[in-house]
Amino acid sequence: MILVFGSLNIDLVAKVPIIPGPGRTVLAPSYQTHFGGKGANQAVAAARIAGPGQVRMAGRVGRDGFGNSAIENLRANEVDTGLVVGADEPTGCAFITVDQAGENAITVASGANMAANAGDLPARLFGPDTVLVLQMEVPFAQALEAARRTTLAAGTVVWNLAPVPERMTREMVTKLLAVTDHLLVNEHEALDAAGAIDLATSSYEAAAADLARAGDLTCIVTAGAQGALAVTADGSRFRAAAPRITPVDTTGAGDTFVGAFAAMLSEGVSLQIALDVSCEAAALKCLKAGAQTGMPMRSAIGSLA
């Protein structure tokens, strides 16, 4: 069973000629509303590959229209929403601009996500078959508690260190590594995490190896067009190539990778196959607009044919 403990947002997306810098305004002809939040994104991505009844989402939404819509959307994607709790704060909202090359800039108003609580997770959910998926858009202490409970139950913890906190301390990273089985990061996040625990390195590959060794875990680095690299605690390396595509919208590609990877872990496939499937799923997502709407179904992934 895949358990995602994380954020749920509504995304407001505008396509612009260029992403504006400080003090600058650009005009967009219109905007679109999409469902988002790294937690919800990863839950949908996992469910589309793992299938009905395999994914549960836990988190908080506001008691408002956005919150109701977010829950309905997860149910439509066959994600169990019994652990999504209403909060007094408004539902989280992300403001996304996408330029002509498909690159994006995102501002997130956390809202109810900051009320997410590991106490909402009943003990019966934790066991050897549990694959817990975490990110960094809910309170770190609560995510850490969920990870600890999973580890004590001999489950598997997948932690996506994104977005990197502005003040990420050595203590925070040390605690995270201690309860994580698979750390998923991009190139920049890998370097940030390594730097936080004083592992000086100039390449994401070296950072991945250092983090894997320091945490006795597997570190997976996504590198866009360069594909993905996984380094195990013993130093073994696995690589997966990224399919060549012309991206339409990269929003949600990283979350698609995480969700697909969790789905593969739950099926017990090899690390190499998990990387291959996850890279293909992320590339397919980039061909369509929207964080969740572009996420591929299992039938579209050639690696699983």
Quick one: pLDDT at residue 169?
95
- Classify residue 95: in a domain, yes or no: no
Report whether pLDDT(186) > 90: yes
Annotated binding site for ATP: 186, 222-227, 254-255
How far does CA 169 lie from the centroid of its chain? 21
Report whether pLDDT(291) > 90: no
Contact 92, 37 (CB under 8 A): yes
> What CA–CA distance (Å, rounded) separates 94 from 91?
10
> Which residues are within 8 A (CB) of 298 and not within 5 positions of it... i.e. 6 or more apart?
48, 49, 50, 51, 304
Quick one: pLDDT at residue 102?
79
pLDDT, one tens digit per residue, over 127-146 is 999 999 999 999 999 999 99
Quick one: pLDDT at residue 128?
98
Q: What is the Cβ-side half-sphere exposure of residue 141, based on CA atoms within 13 angstroms?
A: 4
- Classify residue 33: in a domain, yes or no: no
- Classify residue 257: in a domain, yes or no: yes
CATH code of 210's domain: 3.40.1190.20
Domain that holds residue 45: 2-7+38-90+113-295
Q: Residue 107 — very low, low, confident or very high, per pLDDT cuts 50/70/90?
A: confident
Asked about 255 being catalytic, the answer comes back as yes
Q: Residue 13 — very low, low, confident or very high, per pLDDT cuts 50/70/90?
A: confident
Bridge partners of 230?
A: 220, 238
Tokens matching residue 94: 């992300």
Quick one: pLDDT at residue 250?
87
How many Å is the Cα radius of gyration of the chain? Answer: 18
- Classify residue 190: in a domain, yes or no: yes
Quick one: pLDDT at residue 289?
81
User: In terms of Cα–Cα distance, which of 172, 162, 111 is closest to 141?
Assistant: 172
List the single range of 94-103, 237-246, 249-258, 265-274 with lowest mean pLDDT. 94-103
- Classify residue 58: in a domain, yes or no: yes
The whole-number average pLDDT for the span 99-109 is 86
- Classify residue 220: in a domain, yes or no: yes
- Domain count for the chain, please give it: 1
pLDDT, one tens digit per residue, over 109-123 is 999 999 999 999 999
Q: What's the mean pLDDT when you consider all of the chain?
A: 95
Q: Which residue has the higher pLDDT, 280 or 107?
A: 280
> What CA–CA distance (Å, rounded) separates 241 from 236?
17
The whole-number average pLDDT for the span 172-192 is 97
pLDDT, one tens digit per residue, over 25-74 is 999 999 988 899 999 999 999 999 999 999 999 999 999 999 999 999 99
Quick one: pLDDT at residue 249?
84
- Classify residue 101: in a domain, yes or no: no
pLDDT, one tens digit per residue, over 143-165 is 999 999 999 999 999 999 999 99
Annotated binding site for substrate: 9-11, 37-41, 137, 255
Residue in 80, 181, 210, 255 annotated catalytic? 255
The whole-number average pLDDT for the span 253-257 is 96
pTM comes to: 0.92
pLDDT, one tens digit per residue, over 257-273 is 999 999 999 999 999 99
- In degrees and rounded to multiples of 5, residue 184 shows phi and psi of -110, 125
- Classify residue 96: in a domain, yes or no: no
Tokens matching residue 68: 């109701």
pLDDT, one tens digit per residue, over 188-215 is 999 999 999 988 788 999 999 999 999 9
Residue with tokens 């990283």: 254
